Amino acid sequence: MSSRSATSAATSPASLPDPAEDRRAQRARLLALRAALPARIDADARIAAALSELLAGLAVRCLGFYWPIQQEFDARGAVAQWLAAVPGRQAALPAVSRPGAPLDFHRWDPDTPMTKGHYGIPVPDGTEAVTPDALLIPCVGFSPDKFRLGYGGGFYDRTLAAMAHRPVAIGVGHEACRIALPAQPHDVAMDWIVTEAGAF
C-alpha cells in the first residue's frame, strides 16, 4: 500500500472516533462514579446549601426541578424550603408527553399526589401545567464552560430550545463529574452549575 493510501485508510470515516460512542462511555463511567461517591451525605448537604443560597438571590417565581433517579442529588428538600420561604412561589416537575417532545411541567408541592409517568419516573397526578422561569437540571457530567452531559435523550436541550422565554438553567451535579466535554451543535449551556463546591 502506498503512503497516500495508508494515510487515507487511517483517516477514513470508519476509523475516526465516534462522538456518540465517546459520550456513552463517559456517561457509563460517570454514573458508576456517582453511585460510589464517598462522603455522599456531606456532599449533598453542601449542594443543598449552595443551591438555597443561589435561589435566594434569583428573582424566580416558578421553579422547575426533577424527581431524583440513579443517585442524582435529591433537590426536593431544598425546593420545599424555597417554596415555604415566600408566599406565591410555585414549583413544578417535568412530565414526558411523548418521546422526542419537549417536557411539560406540572405544579408540585410536598403534599402533591404522584403517579408513575414515562420511564417509571413519578409525576404530579392531575395538577395544572405551568411555565417555569428557572429550571434545576441534573447533570451526569458537566464541563467548566457549563455544558452538561445528560442521559442522552435530549429532553432538556429540546425543552430549553422550545420555550418562548428562556428560563434560568441551573445544572446540578457533583465535583467528581466535572469533565472535558466538547459541545455539540444541539447542546445548550447552563447559566449556573451547582455542586458541593458552590455555584458558578
Residue 35 within a domain: no
Q: What percent of the chain has pLDDT over 90?
A: 71
Alpha helices in the chain (DSSP H): 3-10, 19-35, 40-56, 76-85, 155-162
3-state secondary structure 71-98: CCCCCHHHHHHHHHHCCCCEEEEEECCC
Give all strands of the β-sheet with 104-108 in edge-to-edge order: 104-108, 90-95, 62-64, 134-138, 168-172, 192-195, 198-199
pTM of the model: 0.87
pLDDT in tens, 8-29: 444 434 444 556 668 889 999 9
CA–CA gap between residue 191 and residue 160 (Å, rounded):
12
Span 52-71, mean pLDDT?
96
**pLDDT of the residue at 20:** 65
Residue 51 within a domain: yes
Residue 6 within a domain: no
5 pLDDT above the threshold of 60: no
CA–CA gap between residue 56 and residue 135 (Å, rounded):
14
Q: Is 19 helix (H, G, I), strand (E, B) or coil?
A: helix
pLDDT classification of 135: cutoffs 50, 70, 90: very high
Instruction: Kindly report the CATH number assigned to the domain that includes residue 98.
Output: 3.40.50.10420
Q: Domain limits at 65?
A: 43-199
100 pLDDT above the threshold of 70: yes
Q: Hunting for cell 430549553 — which residue is that? A: 160
Residue 49 within a domain: yes
Residue 25 within a domain: no
Residue 118 within a domain: yes
Total of domains in the chain: 1
Residue 17 within a domain: no
101 within 8 A of 154, measured Cβ to Cβ: no
The one-character DSSP state at 15 is G
Residue 194 within a domain: yes
168 within 8 A of 135, measured Cβ to Cβ: yes
